[in-house]
Chains A and B, each alone.
Chain A
Amino acid sequence: MEMKAITQCWGPSGREGKISELIKSEAEKYADEVYTDALGNLIAHKKGSEKKIMLAAHMDEIGVVVTYIDENGFLRFSNIGGVYIKRLLNRRVEFANGVIGVIDTESDNKEMKLSKMFIDIGASTKAEAESKVSVGDMAVFVGDYIETDSVIISKALDNRIGCAALLEVMERASGDNDVYFCFTAQEEVGLRGAKAVAYSVAPEYALAVDVTDTGDTPSADKMAVKLGGGAAVKVMDRSVICNADVRSLLIELAKRDGIPYQLEVMTDGGTDAGAIHTSRDGVKTGGVSIPTRYIHSPSEMASKADYNAAVKLLTAFCEYKF
């Protein structure tokens, strides 16, 4: 699938209908069955007779939700997921119906509180605003897609790049394992979709496929992961310490196939792995991440080489005879 289409598609947490449809159209070409559950997770199953494996990539993105419309047509809002409140000024947001708004603040807002910010959609009355947007409607941040020789820049690389990887693995992987490709909902609001789907799929092994921070920008918080340093094999994040067997296997496969890899110790943020490994009586869970700079901004940046490495590594994992 075109990386541009999948990153630019609209889908904040809990309102993943559009992105789910888009992924489904592609997944149906490769999977034996494709279905959704009560939380909006999209599950593509490639049947096999060996180990039951789950790959999870979340398809939701961060955004905002309208909580109030004032008499002059300005919208008040709340965040969906981990939005950097202090960096919101003059960001553009887009609603499901294409309406665009601009975020600004009351002038007295030194602490940059969300409660003093508003969205301007160009309406001049409450009635005009309400003809376009309702309380409870969500919007996502606008961030165009740009591709250079080496990198991709877009909104929502977190985690559409992971979704793209899963689709590519689904197309490529052969072998006898019973693989569930899970495009999870509501990761950004607390790993919610993965919790449900881990229970219903009940896999033996699982991998969360997501983005990870890097430590290679000027005076960045220290971290070993670098853009262009290869697929990141997750050791831990705030939600999980990965299963040692899974981690060793990923390293072994990367070495065997000459896939560039690096080890990831991330202290900010969790991933679907956190929800999956504690499901039922436990799931051996690991993670493959794509190093990404400026996560949760409209200009997330990832390396094409890292993406390709991740696809290769995930494919090798799916094809592995356990």
Chain B
Amino acid sequence: MYLKELCELDGVSGAENAVRSFITDKIKPYADSITVDAIGNIIALKKGKSSDKKVMLSAHTDEVGFIISGITDKGFLEFKTVGGIDTRVIISKRVRIGKNKLSGVIAMKAIHLQDKSERGKVPKVSSLYIDIGAKSREEAEEHVSLGDYAVFDADYELYGDTVKSKAIDDRAGCAILIELIKKDVQYDTYFCFMAQEEVGLRGAKIAVARVKPDIALVVEATTCADVSGAEEKDYVTSLGKGAAVSFADRSTIVREDFYRNLLRVASEEKISVQTKMALAGGNDAGAIHLAVGGIKCASVSVPCRYIHSPCGIAAVSDIEAVYRLADAFLNRIDEFLE
């Protein structure tokens, strides 16, 4: 699985180019056709034994990050967030900017210079800036243009039985789809690597209009809050307890038969699964299930602690479980199409 390589690529929503080329390169030998559409989705068709049905598997290529929106006279960069990022996790982090991966740090004035009221409060994103070391606007402009994207500059690492990275959401899904496209499939199956999920499920909306599948499964990463200080009722998912299957989130209510089928198949295949125990968040299923007259759609997710931060953590065993469940979904697709 190419998880490490994928996580290390930079691909903020709207600038998924590096991820797109990597994936296209890896799936080329296995896909019968590959289309890149107007927003940058990769739609890869793997022909099945039968063309009676169309199946869609979906993961998103983009990650949350930043976009440079201004340069000050002194050469500091102003920025906006791309996708939902908790402001608390961005202060004092290293970032890489643009195609040349220029280094910068997200900064604010030192604690000594903050007055009492400032110390207790999370600053506004608009009051933060990126320092690239430039001494003037002119020097900064030699290296950075308005509209350049920036990502967290954080390493992919193994932490015991878990992995730590900035982009498990959703390169884990991409890695899984790359493995699955290598296998034979029953029906024509569209492996869709979606752009711009983090800014409003944008890529999925148009990809599904093109593919018009009979059924779709979204392979994602989801909130995992089994952390210090949280009560069990608020965990949403737990690390290491298996693939998370959603009955609903804020974007989708999953058909009961689809949800139950996923749990049943997991149990029969002895794949460890957990129910996602909250309606938190949303993912591409929200765009897919409403499109072109309605599509049967569900999602299976990798629980990820500290999601949308430089250091998300996911269990290797959970990623394996999501892979196996998505694999079982394709192998036993007739049971889901009934």
Contact = CB atoms under 8 A, between A and B. Distances in A.
Interface string A167-211: 000000000000000000010010011011101100000000000
Interface in A1-16: 13-15
Interface string B289-329: 11111111000000000000000000000000000000000
A38 B208 CA distance: 14
The B interface is mostly helix, strand or loop, or mixed, namely mixed
Given A67-B277, A67-B278, A200-B294, A136 B259 contact: yes
Interface in B256-304: 256, 259, 275, 277-279, 289-296
Contact of A14 (B232, B248, B277): B248
B99 interface: no
A21 interface: no
Question: Which of B232, B234, B256, B291 counts the most chain A CB atoms within 10 A?
Answer: B256
A70 B233 contact: yes
Contact of A39 (B234, B277, B289): B289
Given A13-B253, A14-B253, A39-B289, A136 B294 contact: no
B247 interface: yes
Contacts of B290: 39, 192, 195-196
Question: Which of B253, B256, B278 counts the most chain A CB atoms within 10 A?
Answer: B253
A196 B294 CA distance: 5
B224 to A, nearest CB: 15
Interface residues of A, number: 28
B229 to A, nearest CB: 14
B248 A136 contact: yes
A38 B233 contact: no
Contact of B292 (A14, A80, A136, A199): A199
Contacts of B289: 38-39, 192
Given A67-B279, A186-B253, A37 B259 contact: no
Question: Which of B275, B278, B293 counts the most chain A CB atoms within 10 A?
Answer: B293
B182 interface: no
B253 A67 contact: no
Interface residues of B, number: 22
A170 to B, nearest CB: 22
A65 interface: yes
B101 interface: no
Contacts of A186: 253
A239 interface: no
A38 B296 contact: yes
B119 interface: no
B293 A136 contact: no
Given A13-B253, A189-B253, A196 B293 contact: yes
B151 to A, nearest CB: 31
Contacts of A17: 256
B294 A65 contact: no
Contacts of A294: none
A134 to B, nearest CB: 8
Given A68-B232, A136-B247, A38 B253 contact: no
B255 interface: yes
Contacts of A76: 233
Interface in B226-264: 232-234, 247-248, 253-256, 259
A135 interface: yes
Interface string A128-158: 0000000110000000000000000000000
Contacts of B247: 65, 135-136
Given A136-B248, A186-B253, A37 B294 contact: yes
Contacts of B277: 67-68, 135
A141 to B, nearest CB: 18
Interface string A43-80: 00000000000000000000001011010000010101
Contact of B279 (A65, A193, A196): A65
Contacts of A70: 232-233
A38 B294 contact: yes
A285 interface: no
Contacts of B278: 67, 78
A262 interface: no
Contacts of B296: 38
Given A13-B253, A14-B248, A39 B259 contact: no
Nearest to B277: A67
B279 A78 contact: yes
A169 to B, nearest CB: 24
Contacts of B295: 38
Contacts of A38: 255, 289, 293-296
A115 B275 contact: no
Nearest to A96: B256
Contact of A40 (B234, B248, B255, B291): B255
Nearest to A135: B275
A81 B260 CA distance: 22
Contacts of A199: 291-294
A271 interface: no
A213 to B, nearest CB: 25
Given A38-B295, A78-B278, 12 more contacts: A14-B248, A14-B256, A39-B289, A40-B255, A67-B279, A115-B234, A136-B259, A186-B253, A196-B293, A197-B293, A199-B293, A200-B294
Give the 6 A-B CB pairs with smallest separation, nearest first: A14-B253, A196-B294, A200-B293, A136-B247, A38-B294, A39-B294
Interface of B: 232-234, 247-248, 253-256, 259, 275, 277-279, 289-296
Interface of A: 13-15, 17, 37-41, 65, 67-68, 70, 76, 78, 80, 115, 135-136, 186, 189, 192-193, 195-197, 199-200
22 contacts: A14-B248, A14-B256, A15-B253, A15-B256, A37-B294, A38-B289, A38-B296, A67-B233, A67-B279, A68-B232, A68-B233, A70-B232, A135-B277, A136-B247, A136-B275, A192-B253, A192-B289, A193-B294, A196-B294, A197-B294, A199-B292, A200-B292
